[in-house]
A and B are shown apart, each in its own frame.
Chain A
Amino acid sequence: MSLLKLSAKAQARGLAQGDFCCLELVNAHLSRIEETDDAIGAYLCLLSDAARQKAMALDALPKDEKYTSPLWGVPFALKDNICVKGVPTTCASRMLEHFVSPYDATVFKRLDHAGAILLGKTNMDEFGMGNTTATSAFQKTVNPLDPTRVPGGSSGGSAAAVAALEAPFALGSDTGGSVRQPAAFCGLVGLKPTYGAVSRYGLVAFASSLEQIGPLARTVSDCETVFSLISGRDERDATSRDLSGFSNPLDPEKGVKGMRIGLPRSFFDMPMDKVVKEGVLWAAGTFEKLGATVTEVNMPLPCHALAAYYVISSAEASSNLARFDGVRYGHRSQKARNMEELYTLSRGEGFGWEVKKRILFGSYVLSKGQKEAYYQRARALARQISEEYEKTFLKVDLLLCPVTPELPFEIKDGGTPVYEGDLFTVSANLAGIPALAMPCKKTDAGLPVGMQLMAAKGREDLLFAAARVFEGEKIYGAV
């Protein structure tokens, strides 16, 4: 247990100091998964043999070839929409139940080359559509902090694995909050990077203009380290780029002294749990005490952003998921008598309810007669929101707001996502800016209250700097 409680970087240090070897570390995590994951349901696919083999290979290397990165020898988990060659990538959908990826995602390659060890693939909402992980076609995942509650989603399996000490860090993908919301619900640090900061090559596409792969970890430093390893230009993703801003020019001694933090008034005017509002405002007060200047700022209404998000993401999903036709890969209906039936039955049988709904809605908002009222207005609004955020970040360094309007809620039957749960997270995706979620307070019942920090494009360094200072205060009791 003591090994498992170490942060990812502390595990790497333990390896370098010879306190334990890679195989011991991997075995410790696999034993933990065996003990707890029947109840948690974080993993869809476990790669025990491959993980042990890689651990033994790393242990056998000569000393001068070891410890080549800050996460060398450290195990991790991947959301099951990120491809690894020869390994199933199901997106938690019957459509891809038997799909084995023929290539590696860039993020996996980068972590693999850095010496990190993949333990397995984690559960998620089907194709990333949901915020409870309940739309998975295969299993339920529960919140390790309270098994009667949802872990959030769509990267709920990744969050649950890290929170349950079944992995020291994991990758998720964030299209409208899918890294940040489960991070907040499970008491973790989660980052949605600047659009283009991390290659999407090998990520099964849901809404290409909005999504980014991001890390979930138990400490800010781990989150930052994983981000530094997976980010950067990749010629296989034309939207990826190097971040000139990510050079950490900040003086670590300075902390948040002199930092300008904005509280978006329109966010705090929205209905939300009292305890969430109080928690985030308390965090604002703490930043102020630490030397930051906190002021209210005017921002676009989050409910307008939410509408634009659901229109754009569904429109893009209807196009991206057109490729699943039962011919080249994916589920094929055995009842089809002609090509038309092959398409319609394969897609009808393969996709779950929520995915079908989003595809239909996406086609509706793109259809003749509706496109101007929905899709074009949503695109125009997204552009306006992006411009508003750019202007705001000339006045403040960071924005501080809640991650979600509510605490992790109880698991209900049905699995229909709570669309309003994405109210505070979707703006960062529409604007393409980085946003970090972390716990700021605990309720009396031990549930985490999440706060969200947002910064200008390419300024993940500011997010990490402020988050580190907050975490360093040991207010929440970080691991």
Chain B
Amino acid sequence: MPLQKEELQQLAALCRISLAGEEEEKMCAQLEQLCLLAQCLSEADCGELDALADAPAVTREDVARGQKDKELLLACAPERKDGFFFVSFEEKEGAK
């Protein structure tokens, strides 16, 4: 079933990805190709579908460890202020 533009727009909104209007058609077509590639799954004998039910859970103990350097982590952020990640829209036109 071909992917409709409205479906793509909904997907893009869910994925928090902006797409320019002219990109939508090309993306629809390319996603359609991936769907076609995946369609042979319907022909394959996949056995029992609940494949995750018997997947072993591999976990480690939830134990606090030495923390990474806070400054080093904050340094990765596009903006920071007073020891926190910082987001501001004050200077942008039409701030909500």
Contact = CB atoms under 8 A, between A and B. Distances in A.
Contacts of B79: 332
Kindly state the interface size class of chain B when it binds its partner.
Answer: 35 or more
Contact of B73 (A102, A310, A326): A102
Contacts of B60: 235, 238
Given A338-B96, A360-B27, A372 B49 contact: yes
B51 A307 contact: no
B66 to A, nearest CB: 12
A234 to B, nearest CB: 11
Contacts of B92: 335-337
A356 B15 CA distance: 9
Interface residues of A, number: 62
Interface string B7-32: 01001111111110000000100110
Interface in B32-80: 34-35, 37-52, 58-60, 68-69, 72-73, 75-79
Contact of B68 (A102, A325, A345, A372): A102
Contacts of A339: 87
B77 A382 contact: no
Interface stretch (A119-127, A373-381, A390-398, A464-472): A373-381
A99 B52 CA distance: 35
Nearest to B79: A332
**Does more than half of chain A's interface fall in helix, strand or loop, or is it mixed?**
helix
Interface stretch (A11-19, A32-40, A298-306): A298-306
A310 B34 contact: yes
B37 A102 contact: no
Contacts of B37: 306-307, 310, 419
Given A359-B15, A384-B46, A311 B38 contact: yes
A328 B38 contact: no
A357 B31 contact: yes
A376 B46 CA distance: 9
Interface string A330-361: 11100111111011110111010000110111
Contacts of A318: 15
B34 A376 contact: no
Nearest to A348: B18
A342 to B, nearest CB: 7
A239 interface: yes
B21 to A, nearest CB: 12
A327 B44 contact: no
A356 B27 contact: yes
A71 interface: no
Interface of B: 3, 8, 11-19, 27, 30-31, 34-35, 37-52, 58-60, 68-69, 72-73, 75-79, 85, 87, 89, 92-96
22 contacts: A307-B41, A325-B16, A327-B78, A336-B92, A337-B89, A337-B93, A347-B15, A357-B27, A361-B31, A363-B11, A364-B31, A365-B38, A367-B11, A373-B41, A374-B38, A376-B49, A377-B46, A378-B38, A379-B52, A381-B44, A383-B47, A383-B51
3 closest A-B pairs by CB: A348-B18, A332-B78, A329-B76
